[in-house]
Amino acid sequence: MVMNTRSGINEKKETPPTKANAMPLRKRGGTVSNIYLALIFIFLYAPIVVLIINSFNAAKSRVVWGGFTLDWYRKLFQNADIIDALRTTIIVAVLSAVIATLAGVLSSVGIYALPKRFRRIMMQITNIPNITPDLVTGISLMLLFYFLRAQTGFVTLLLAHIAFNIPFAILSIMPKLRQMDMSLYEAAQDLGCTPAQAVRKVLIPEIRPGIVTAFILTLTLSIDDFVISYFTAGNQVTTLALTIYSMARKSVNPQINALSTLMFMTVFILLIIINMRTSSKNRIAHNGVISADRKIGKRAFTTQRKE
Amino acid sequence: MENIEKADQLKKNNRVRLLTRERSKTAMIGTQLSDKTGQSHIIELVGVNKSFGEVQVMRDITFYIRSNEFLTLLGPSGCGKTTTLRVLGGFEQPDSGTVTFEGHDLLPIPPHERELNTVFQRYALFPHLDVAENVAFGLQIKKLPQGEIDSRVSQMLSLVKLDGYGARAIDQLSGGQMQRVAIARALVNLPKVLLLDEPLGALDLKMRKEMQIELKQMQRELGITFVYVTHDQEEALTMSDSVIVMNEGAIQQIGRPIDIYNEPRNAFVADFIGESNIINGRMHEDFRVLICDKWFPCVDRRHENEEVDVVIRPEDIDLVKPADNLLNGIVTSATFKGVHYEMIVEACDLEWLVHSTDHKAEGSEVGLSFGPDDVHIMVKSAFSPMRGKSDQDSASHESERGADYE
């Protein structure tokens, strides 16, 4: 149920309707638009709400309320399979987020230094994995691993997660680089930094907010992923998302509700952090810089022939 | 189409320039050494060329910078002055030519090893550091002892009148304050040469005037060579020991501010520095020039070419009673400008700009009076005023050559 967060993030980043658009609607038919809005939210969130409520339901049935209980959560943490899957999920998430973020920083700096035309081409290439369906990415990675005769397992799972995370890391870091005044990098060198020192002492601190966002985002995507993990994890290793899937296939186990609730809450909180970061970042962008590009149009000669 | 033609033209110009390079080089050295101060050259550029794609932004740039002088590169945007500065700073490599610093080749040395510091156009202060950390940055990189860093930073902050601002964040500063931090951050390293790229461009007029005086004072007190880039001719004249006027990637003139103003080498310089009347003239002999079919005395010798540009500054013209030996015309507008009146006089089909404290009403008939000293003769250049139809009609002897100048 949280499998599609990746596309969901992109949608959330789009600009919200401006006040100018929203105002006339509210003035004309407040009730109609409010009902419409409420319906959308109900359709979107009712299943999750039902799920969360059921995770506290003492009755095994999903339609009868048998009283409040935390049993399912308790059982969850006594389930060795689930604890094992949780450990794998966290290790893969943290490792892939760290590696993808590092790779993202290096690639972003490299892409930014390219001439404009190549930079655009590189960014297009970077964007392709983002719009490729997970299914295609998953199957192609699986085929790649078969082709290389690699045993699918923890390593292939980690590699796959790093692979799909890198473009998102680049996308989080690039805007920060673009906002940065390139003369900062030159100023650092002017003051005695080698190019490497200039990157470390000026460029990285400047884009740090983007780096942190990249880390949280890739962490979220990794925890959240099911499809790509399904094709690359093999038989031995399993993540939480894979566990939920296999549990749901066998029988209706209310532990799934509890586990899903926990996963949903984790991803939800991480997403809120990302969104708060991006909106506060936009606020401080371009502060106090007055354009020095004063126009001094070519002055005409003071003496001119009459027409 | 136009671009291709332009590019061809540029190439042709360049070829001509290369051929005449030896000559022009000696000419420029002559200009610069004319006010013999005997100081050594700290930086020398010889025949530097630089192109960005099709556009050549530096054409055979040759000049010298003396120790402890305040040198200004002056020109309109896109004239190549900032690129010249960036070549000195090490952020651009020229396509050809040599740059030496105290006699050593500067070009292979990376920016961080050059003994110059730059004040960038938009200050380029590090937002993640506070004021004191910004100023200390260069010293910290050099790994000086913390005690020395602290004392030099506070010294420098008081030099730029920012005592007590050390702990401020960069985004809490005004434009003028950021400017001072940028200057302090560069000067604290005690560079031999300070490069300044339009540092006052973003400040308001009053602040700019104050900073001009302060910068000049700092330069004198610290004995550091300043290379200053600006498009503001007044700023250049006020602060500089030497001015280099540039346009379209080429040096137009090098000289002291007073020479540049009084003896502009061509119509571009005359027009860019101050206001001027630039008229087509003709010289058949020394010390006499034909303007609008009348002969006037002047102090210049005859040039190779008899076609010349004549510059007469608006403040050098007196409005008197019409007379036969003067250019006579009618005042078409008179505007009060505070110190003087700005009047436009129409005479011999030209509009003359005149600055005078004597007011002449619109419509009054006047004679334009100027002495031989006020007439400045320049050779024709690509920047000369367009030839008008009326001029050819009135000057009968022009018919034989007129076509050359269309």
Give the CATH number of the domain where residue A251 resides. Answer: 1.10.3720.10
Dig out the tokens for A46 from the structure: 């009712």
Mutate to test the interface with A, among B86, B114, B123, B292 (most CBs of A within 10 A): B123
Say if residues B88 and B195 touch (Cβ distance below 8 Å).
Answer: yes
Structural domain count, chain A:
2
| Domain shared by B60 and B206, yes or no | yes
Going by C-alpha positions, the residue among A297, A299, A303 that lies closest to residue B276 is A303
To which residue do tokens 């399904």 refer? A230
Chain B interface includes A291 (CB < 8 A)? yes
- Final residue in a domain of this structure, among B230, B262, B294: B262
Domain with B304 in it: 275-395
Residues A163 and A60 in one domain: no
Nearest to B126 among A202, A284, A296 (CB): A202
- Is A101 a member of any domain? yes
Structure tokens that stand for A30 in this block: 């407040």
Q: Does A290 touch chain B (CB under 8 A)?
A: yes
- In this prediction the ipTM stands at 0.74
Structure tokens given for A50 = 């039902």
Pair A205, A228 in one domain: yes
Claim to verify: residue A240 and residue A272 sit in the same structural domain: yes
Q: Judge whether B243 is closer than 8 Å to chain A, CB to CB.
A: no
Is the same domain home to A117 and A261? yes
- How many angstroms separate the CA atoms of A212 and B51, rounded? 40
The reply to whether B152 falls in a domain is: no
Confidence category of residue B39, pLDDT binned at 50, 70, 90: low
Provide the pLDDT for residue B18: 36
Tell me whether residue A19 is in a domain: no
Calpha distance B137→B132 (Å, rounded): 8
- Spell out which residues of chain B touch residue A281, defining contact as CB-CB under 8 Å: none
B21 plus B55 within the same structural domain:
yes
In a domain, A12, yes or no: no
3-state secondary structure of B228: strand
Q: Which of A59-73, A211-225, B23-37 has the lowest mean pLDDT?
A: B23-37
Angle at A41 between CA A40 and CA A46, to 5 degrees: 115
Min Cα–Cα distance to chain A from B125, Å: 7
Number of structural domains (chain B) is 2
Question: Which residue range is the domain that position A43 belongs to?
Answer: 30-69
Write the residue in A290, A291, A302 that is nearest to B353 by C-beta.
A302
Q: A225 and A189 share a domain?
A: yes
Query: Is residue A56 domain-shared with residue A135, that is, in the same domain?
Result: no
pLDDT tier, B92 (very low <50, low <70, confident <90, very high otherwise):
very high
Indicate if A45 and A129 belong to the same structural domain. no
Considering the domain architecture, whether residues A65 and A85 belong to the same structural domain is answered as no
Shortest CA gap B141–chain A (Å): 6
- Chain A: nearest CA to B35, how far in angstroms? 30
Q: Does residue A293 lie within any of the structural domains?
A: no
Are B217 and B313 members of one domain? no
Whether residues B59 and B201 share a domain: the answer is yes
Domain contains B11: yes
Predicted confidence at residue A291, as pLDDT, reads 28
User: Is there a domain that residue A16 lies in?
Assistant: no
- In a shared domain, residues B347 and B313: yes
**Which residues 180-239 of B are in CB contact (within 8 Å) with A?**
185-186, 189, 198, 201-202, 231
Is A11 domain-assigned? no
- Report if residue B39 sits inside a domain: yes
Question: Do B279 and B254 belong together in one domain?
Answer: no
Whether residue A173 is found in the same domain as residue A261 = yes
State whether A50 and A165 are in the same domain. Answer: no
Nearest to B128 among A206, A292, A303 (CB): A206
- Comparing A22-26, B58-62, B71-75, B238-242, the range with the smallest average pLDDT is A22-26
List the single best residue of A184, A191, A291 to mutate versus B (max B Cβ within 10 A).
A191
Domain boundary among B241, B262, B283: B262
Q: Do B341 and B363 fall into the same domain?
A: yes
- Residue A284 is encoded by which pair of tokens? 């401080």
Contact A302 B272 (CB under 8 A): no
Average pLDDT value for chain B = 82
Asked if B94 and B204 sit in the same domain, the reply is yes
Residue B202 sits in the same domain as residue B100: yes
Do A53 and A101 lie in a common domain? no
The pLDDT assigned to B175 comes to 86
Considering the domain architecture, whether residues B297 and B375 belong to the same structural domain is answered as yes
CA distances B393 to B277, B309, B387, Å, are 21, 18, 11
**Subunit contact B112:A190, Cβ cutoff 8 A:** yes
Taking only the tens place, the pLDDT of each residue in B119-157 is: 998 889 999 999 999 999 999 999 999 999 999 999 999
B395 Cβ contact partners less than 8 Å away, ≥ 6 residues apart: B282, B290, B293
